[in-house]
Structure 1
C-alpha cells in the first residue's frame, strides 16, 4: 500500500501469455501458506479471521452480527447490464465488441482524450445511445441504496458514468464517481474551463450538434474521466479516509482491469472481508504485479466469490439478511415512480408540440386572411 498511486486512468496491461499464467498458478498454489507469511505486508492476506465461513451465508451472518458497520461497495459496468446498458469487455455483447460502426483505430480510442479532441463525433454518437435518463436502476443499485437506508453504507465507489446510483437515491456524499459523470461538463480549453449543465449538454447531444463552448468555441466534454486524464481529487482524498475504516468490501460488476480503481481492493485492512459478486472471478495484476484474487480465493480466510449476475447475487444476499421482500418492494415502487414521471414528461412534451402546431396554424391562417 505504500506504492504511489497513478493519477491517471489506464487499463492494466497483460504481460504474459495465458499458458504462462496458468503454469505460474499451478506452480504457486502449493506454496500459498508460505507466501501468505512472506508477502503479508505487501499483499494484505494475513490478519484476524472475521468470517465464520467463506460463503455468502458467512457474509450475511457477519453483517447481522452488528460488527459490520462500514460497508464500501466497488462497482463497475456489470451492475447496469440488466438495465440494458452494455458492459465493456463481454466478447459479443460488450461495448468494445460493438464499436465497428464508428471506424475507430481500436475500441478504447472512443474514451481516449487525445483521440476525442481530434475526433469527437464517435463519443457523442455513443453518448446518445447511453445517455442518462434512458434507463432505470437495477436490483443491484437499489441493494446499495438499502445498505444506505440500514445505516451500513460507508461509500459507493463507482466506475460507471450512467448516473444510475444517483437515480436509485444515493446522494453526492454517498458516492465517489471515480471515472466521472454526465452531471456536469466543462470546456476542454485549460484557458477557459467554462462549466455547462447536464440539461445544456443533453440538448446539444440530441440535436446532433458537437458541443462547443459559448465563450471560446472549444469542445465541451462531459466530466467523464477519459484514459489519459486525472481522476477527480475527491477519489484520492476519500480513499485515504474510507478504506482504513472499511469492515466489509463488496465488489460487484467489475473486471478490475483499470487502474487506479482496481488497486482499491488492497486498501482495506488485512482482516477486512471482501465479497465479489460477478459473472466471473475478477482481478488482473495488482500494483505489486501479483494476481491477487485468483491466488487469494484458493486458500483465503476472508475472500468470498459469489459467481452470478449482480442482481441475483444481491437478491440472494438480501434473502439471507431477511431484506428480500423489502428490496423487491423498493425496486417495484421506484420503477413505478420513474415510469409515471416519464409518462408525465412525455404528455407535457406532446402538449407543447400540439400547442406550437396550433399556434403555427393560427398564424398561417391569419397571414392568408390578410
Structure 2
C-alpha cells in the first residue's frame, strides 16, 4: 500500500508525463477495507459515441455508477445540474484524508494536455477517453486537475472539499456530456460532414469564434482586392514591375517611394464607412462570442465598425496611423490622406525644417502598413498561439490565404474545430468543413436572416426577410452557393 502523504504531495507539481500516464492514485473504500478503482464504479460500456443517433445525449447519459443514489447525490444534482439519469453509488465511499489542500485558483491548466484530451475525444468519443485516461485508481485532487486540464471553469471544482471522489467524477462526466464542442461530427465515407444547420447552431452557441478576414469584405465599399481580375495587381501594368507586389516591398519603398504613392489612392479607405460583414463581426463582439478578428486588411474599417482593439489583430498594419522613416514620429493616418489623393509623397516637416538637401527617402512618411520585408506586429505573435488553442469555430472570409504567416493560421488550429470559408472563390486545398461561395455581405445577411430577429445585423443594407437560400454546388463537395 502506498504512503498517503508521499502519494498526494506529488500531485500538485506533477509533470506532463505524470498527468498523461498516472492520473490517479488509490481511493480507499472503508466498507471493503481496500482500494477501489474508479473505473470499477463507472460502467463505461453504456456510453454511445454514435453522433448520428437522435438520442445521442440520451445514450451518453446512460453512463452509470453502480448502485442507487446516496444522500449526497441529491446535493450534487442540485449544485451541478447533474442529469437525473446519472446515478450515484449505492454504498458511500470514504475518501482518503487529504494530506494537502488543492488550490483551485493557483492551479495552471496545461494547454498541451487539453489539446491532447479534446482531440482524442473528438476522434474516439467520451467512452474511449474514459477508458484510456481515467486510470484504475484516482484521487479527488486528480479529478479536479483533469476537469481543469480539459478547459472547464474553476467554479466546477471550487467546493471540491465538500464532494466525494464519486461526486467529482459525476461532475466530470456531466461536463463531458454537455460539451457541444466534443460532439463527434457526422461522417460519410470517412469524411467529416458539417452542415449549414450545424454552422448556424454553432454560431448561436459558441463563444470563442476566430475570424480571419481579407480584402473581399471591403470590396462592397469600392476598395479593390489584390488578386482578382479587377484587383489592384492587375491595375499596375503601367508601372512595368517584374512583380506587382513590389509596390508593397519595403526596399522598393525606401529607394522609390513614388512607386507606392502613385497607386496608393486606389486603396485609400473611405472614412466613417464599413461593410455589412464588418457589422456582423461587431455583432458577434457585442454578443460576447468573438475571440479575435485577424484581418489582413489595411483599410482600418474595423475602427469605424466599432470593433474593440483588444479583439482585433491588424496583421498587416493599417492606414490608421503613419510614421516618419527618419525620426519615427507618428501621425494620425488621415493627416496624409490629401497627399495620397494627389499622388504626392508626404514628408515630415520636423525632419526637413533645417534641411535643404537629403536622400530621397529622408523624412518620408509611410502609412503603418506592413510591407513585404517587414515584421508583423508583435501583437500577432503574442495572441495567435493561445487563440489557436482557445477558439471553438473558425471563419475565413474574403481572402485567398496566399500571404504568410496568416495563411497558415488554420493549419495550427486543432482539426476538431470547425472551419468555414466565406469567399467568392473556393480554396479546395485548405480542407474547409463548409464553403459558402459568394459576396460576404450577402452570405452574412442570409445566414443571420435564418437565425431570427435577434440576429439582425445593425447595418442599413441588412434585410431580415430574404427569399434566397443556399443550394449545393454542382461539382464541389461541402460547398454551397446562394440561389435567388
Greater relative CO, 1 or 2 (CA 8 Å, sep 6+): 1
The answer for the alignment partner of 1:63 in structure 2 is 203
Deviation at 1:323, TM superposition (A): 4.8
What is the alpha-carbon distance in structure 1 between the residues aligned to residue 216 and residue 426 of structure 2? 13
Instruction: Please state if 1:240 is matched with 2:385.
Output: yes
What is the alpha-carbon distance in structure 2 between the residues aligned to residue 98 and residue 136 of structure 1? 24
What is the alpha-carbon distance in structure 2 between the residues aligned to residue 78 and residue 136 of structure 1? 15
Q: Structure 2 unaligned runs (5+)? A: 1-114, 124-181, 187-192, 352-361, 463-484
Q: Which structure's CA Rg is the greater one?
A: 2
Deviation at 1:58, TM superposition (A): 1.3
Contact 1:246 1:269 in 2 (8 A): no
Instruction: Please state if 1:212 is matched with 2:350.
Output: no
The answer for the alignment partner of 1:19 in structure 2 is none
What is the alpha-carbon distance in structure 2 between the residues aligned to residue 104 and residue 184 of structure 1? 27
Deviation at 1:151, TM superposition (A): 1.3
Instruction: Please state if 1:307 is matched with 2:447.
Output: no
The answer for the alignment partner of 1:345 in structure 2 is none
The answer for the alignment partner of 1:133 in structure 2 is 270
TM-score (norm 1): 0.67
Contact 1:275 1:305 in 2 (8 A): yes
TM-score (norm 2): 0.52
Instruction: Please state if 1:180 is matched with 2:317.
Output: yes
Deviation at 1:333, TM superposition (A): 8.5
The equivalent position to 1:202 in structure 2, one of 324, 337, 340, is 337
Deviation at 1:207, TM superposition (A): 4.8
Instruction: Please state if 1:106 is matched with 2:234.
Output: no
Q: Write out per-residue CA displacement over residues 172-191 of structure 1, whole angstroms, 9 at most, x where no aligned residue.
A: 112100000111111223xx
Deviation at 1:314, TM superposition (A): 0.9
Deviation at 1:320, TM superposition (A): 2.6
Contact 1:51 1:58 in 2 (8 A): no
Q: Write out per-residue CA displacement over residues 223-265 of structure 1, whole angstroms, 9 at most, x where no aligned residue.
A: 1001111000001001122221100011001101100001111
Q: Write out per-residue CA displacement over residues 301-352 of structure 1, whole angstroms, 9 at most, x where no aligned residue.
A: xx1111222112211221232258721xx21189xxxxxxxxxxxxxxxxxx
Inter-CA distance 50–167: structure 2 relative to 1 (3 Å threshold): farther
Deviation at 1:50, TM superposition (A): 5.3
Contact 1:158 1:176 in 2 (8 A): yes
Aligned-partner SS, 2:320: strand
The answer for the alignment partner of 1:230 in structure 2 is 375
Higher helix share: 1
Contact 1:96 1:107 in 2 (8 A): yes
Q: Write out per-residue CA displacement over residues 60-117 of structure 1, whole angstroms, 9 at most, x where no aligned residue.
A: 11233x3x11101100011111211111111x21111111233333211111111111
- Give the total of aligned pairs: 271
Contact 1:252 1:276 in 2 (8 A): yes
Aligned-partner SS, 1:331: coil
The equivalent position to 1:72 in structure 2, one of 210, 213, 222, is 210
